[in-house]
Structure 1
């Protein structure tokens, strides 16, 4: 009997030791992935429920660990019509023009678009203009005489759209000061507000609002022609609910084009609740060259929070491109891309920056807060990270490689996911990134050939700095 008791006692001790060792090895593997334990548990539990329901009995244990999460989020409602910061500005007025066509209803607007001439400005009066089908833009502007479609006042000119809105097929258009609103009960019927295709190079999209589309701005080639040299400047993109679609949910969806610049935009509440539930705030991919993301503010979760969906920030490469859609059918996603002076925040379930087959990429002077960090994935991905402030981690995946040059990288708490960067700033969760104490880091020289950069706050600076802005105090932006 004593022998049996000793055997059972030692069996229990061994079993408990194995359990502890197994837990420690499991925790170690999670740690090296760079994921907080609550987030990892949440992801595994969701995956089991969807893909392995027969073993869903283990998910309560994972839910227990997920319950340790410390929430970092925007805890004040955000009204885009009262927002003063990155994105569309309500006081913006388009420059004066001489050749103006004024329109006040949808019939006049469609006629003006069909008959537009180089150098002409189509001035849209306040009101709601309903598009029930795609409007094709087949008139071409000229290099020194673009065609401009402008709203008289932001938030007062609304284009209500079903299906695809404006299909721009010709170059030298500028679209400004318009609120594009997706009006579809079935989300798959509101794909794009603007679709820029083929020969439509040198298009400027400036100071507009885009709401409730799957991919509000779509850019791609067609039949060997590519709409290069575009500018997406000072726009606001957001959704009022997660997109119920199995297709892409990416407001800035730029594919197979060169020399596009995405600058000064505000992108928030970008989530997807169907299919793989993975969304991006914006990407440039499809063998694109010299793409730039600069001075953008991304909040994956603002008014929409805690849904458990996987929302990523900015990306070169996105989820990849089919060879037939890639420029010259080359498998590489991006070359010589630059991300500079962006603030990417509140993407708690995945990375703020994702590089997928993105060769020779520069990540410089970004702030990445309350995300998993940065992924550099696949052998073709190479990156230099300089003067960034990043929460989470920076890792290579599947052969990617990166160099670090004077960055502040701080991991989130393993057991709770708390972002320790919040101790660096005045009120990071509310978007106030003023430093509580001066940074004790010496920045590396910047990449700009002339040594002059415009920081996140719009200030021209010549001396290098850490983070997205040069001054100790953050520029003013208001939530109400």
Structure 2
């Protein structure tokens, strides 16, 4: 009997040590702090393995050690004075213009718009009770322009697909787009750009409470290439309760899109797989650029339970039927992410590359995230002059090269972000350097030999992080 208990004890200890070894190897493999890893395991057990969920409280115990990093002020979009939509922006006036002041005259003007015409919308609220299609085409030298008289004074309340753009050369400026739906699945998009709707410009607008505010995709073999999404503010007032995509900027199968100077925040998804992205370009696309964007996965919404990912080439992948020309293999090629700040995405990657070939990640700051994931054999990336908390991780055959980056692992036992020690107050967006500014060794090159950093400065010498110099350009107000 004693031998039985002895060997039973030995076996139990061996099993326990084996579990600890597997657990330790798994933590090492994923490169996560212990509290975050424990939180993910506990959630996975409860959802996918309920028969053994009785061990979840052990992981809950380790999760309690997490030291939270978060934006502890309230963002008011109409008072925000940083990257994104600016209240003082004034669109240029066109000689050929029509002014509208009610929903009926607005719809009539949109339906009869002609190349070179500017539709000026007077202050007020304009309610669309269903999807409204835009089929009139502008031209390269004479786009159709829809502009609000003043920012935050022209409000479009939308349902369904919002404005469905099916023709090229449209510009949208100075409009506040708002989802007007009790059920989140009834407010899919603010602007859906499809098929022949190439060369669209979306500048200095705000978008609130849509599953995917900007949706771009091919239609009947045509693709809306060469879009510009610039200086917009995009956010949600609550986590999106949808099983579909919850991605404010959702670009599929369109080439040469530039997403620049936008402020994207509060992107959580509270249904389905609970995975959301701030922005992605995917679907066998190429030539996409993310630059000078500010992404806060969590700002006013401080939940912490959902998986929110920052910027991505590839997103969660694309079904073959939606890929450009029906071609599988890569999700994106020759993409650039430059001078972005991605922060407060504590549960997953700040930057995620999924089957993204020949990607350049240059001069980004990635703070309070898990780091950067380069996934699948089709993915290859050069990372240069970035400041990254967490780790840069190859997954499932992905490959990357590092040049002159500053990478700080988060504290293993607490998850504390060590970048706190480099900057004045990164949690509330003061990335001024605490110490003498470090110069990297790797130079930057752009098409014209110059670079515009996150703060809008034109620089022609190497710099580390998203802006050149010691002092950051945005100081959050108390």
Normalization by structure 2: what TM-score? 0.97
Quickly say closer, same or farther: Cα 1:303–1:162, change in 2 above 3 A: same
1:101, CA displacement in angstroms? Answer: 0.5
| Match of residue 187, structure 2, among 187, 190, 200 | 190
- Equivalences for residues 12-411 of structure 1 within 5 A: 15-16=12-13, 19-20=16-17, 22-331=19-328, 332-411=330-409
1:29, CA displacement in angstroms? Answer: 2.5
CA distance in 2, matches of 1:70, 1:9: 41
SS in 1 for 2:420: helix
CA distance in 2, matches of 1:327, 1:453: 31
Unaligned runs of 5+ in 1: none
Quickly say closer, same or farther: Cα 1:369–1:450, change in 2 above 3 A: same
1:447, CA displacement in angstroms? Answer: 3.3
CA distance in 1, matches of 2:441, 2:87: 35
CA distance in 2, matches of 1:265, 1:449: 22
Is the Cα contact below 8 Å between 1:83 and 1:479 reproduced in 2?
no
Quickly say closer, same or farther: Cα 1:206–1:44, change in 2 above 3 A: same
1:18, CA displacement in angstroms? Answer: 6.0
Is the Cα contact below 8 Å between 2:151 and 2:176 reproduced in 1?
yes
1:443, CA displacement in angstroms? Answer: 3.3
Is the Cα contact below 8 Å between 1:84 and 1:479 reproduced in 2?
no
* Partner of residue 433, structure 1: 431
CA distance in 1, matches of 2:7, 2:166: 77
Is the Cα contact below 8 Å between 1:131 and 1:161 reproduced in 2?
yes
**57-66 vs 295-304, which deviates more?**
57-66
Is the Cα contact below 8 Å between 1:82 and 1:479 reproduced in 2?
no
Q: Deviations over 1:223-244 (max 9, x none)?
A: 1111111000000000000000
CA distance in 2, matches of 1:319, 1:262: 19
Is the Cα contact below 8 Å between 1:31 and 1:414 reproduced in 2?
no
Is the Cα contact below 8 Å between 2:203 and 2:232 reproduced in 1?
yes
1:8, CA displacement in angstroms? Answer: 5.9
CA distance in 2, matches of 1:135, 1:234: 24
Q: State the aligned residue count.
A: 477
CA distance in 1, matches of 2:305, 2:206: 26
SS in 2 for 1:283: strand
CA distance in 2, matches of 1:224, 1:10: 68
CA distance in 1, matches of 2:16, 2:48: 26
SS in 2 for 1:403: strand
* Partner of residue 446, structure 2: 448
SS in 2 for 1:474: coil
Is the Cα contact below 8 Å between 1:164 and 1:190 reproduced in 2?
yes
**11-20 vs 383-392, which deviates more?**
11-20
Is the Cα contact below 8 Å between 2:311 and 2:352 reproduced in 1?
yes
CA distance in 2, matches of 1:112, 1:306: 43
CA distance in 1, matches of 2:251, 2:25: 38
1:399, CA displacement in angstroms? Answer: 0.8
**56-65 vs 346-355, which deviates more?**
56-65
Quickly say closer, same or farther: Cα 1:450–1:152, change in 2 above 3 A: same
Is the Cα contact below 8 Å between 2:285 and 2:324 reproduced in 1?
yes
Is the Cα contact below 8 Å between 1:368 and 1:391 reproduced in 2?
yes
CA distance in 1, matches of 2:344, 2:170: 34
CA distance in 2, matches of 1:21, 1:135: 60
Unaligned runs of 5+ in 2: none
Q: Deviations over 1:316-345 (max 9, x none)?
A: 000011111110112211010000000000
Normalization by structure 1: what TM-score? 0.96
CA distance in 2, matches of 1:10, 1:426: 57
Quickly say closer, same or farther: Cα 1:156–1:352, change in 2 above 3 A: same
Q: Deviations over 1:394-438 (max 9, x none)?
A: 111111101001101111111111100111000000011000002
CA distance in 2, matches of 1:118, 1:63: 60
1:48, CA displacement in angstroms? Answer: 1.3
Is the Cα contact below 8 Å between 2:437 and 2:469 reproduced in 1?
no
SS in 1 for 2:90: coil
